[in-house]
Structure 1
């Protein structure tokens, strides 16, 4: 027997902003991961591992001026986006 719980969230303005920021960052990392895998496939190379993608798309990207805003959200959100891209 499986149980299912259903919850409705009513976030306030600050929470909505934080959620939108987290979702946006996750979308960017997900798209970058899919693009990296597609580039590797086109080049005939092996797919990058999750560790390589994490270093490249999260750790190093946070240190660049163009993607420093990735540091404003939890790294868990970004790592889950990588796992989701790998499963896709």
Structure 2
């Protein structure tokens, strides 16, 4: 992440807390709900269909097939779906 020489010093200086805090502020400003999931949640390793977790998934592997349900996953799309589902699950626990 910090390999880009133009952004690297700036990102290291402010860290990732400030952009996250700005997103939280803007969501509250527009009346939206901001839900932060655990940073260690295995979003790209978990099948969003059946819940199987592929622990040996490295960063080089961009696509994988679930051995349980047979679904073909693109790493980033699968992670986005899992993050959405986890956020909705947390929101339902808060609202209950």
Give TM-score scaled by structure 1 length.
0.32
Higher strand share: 2
Larger Rg: 2
Higher helix share: 1
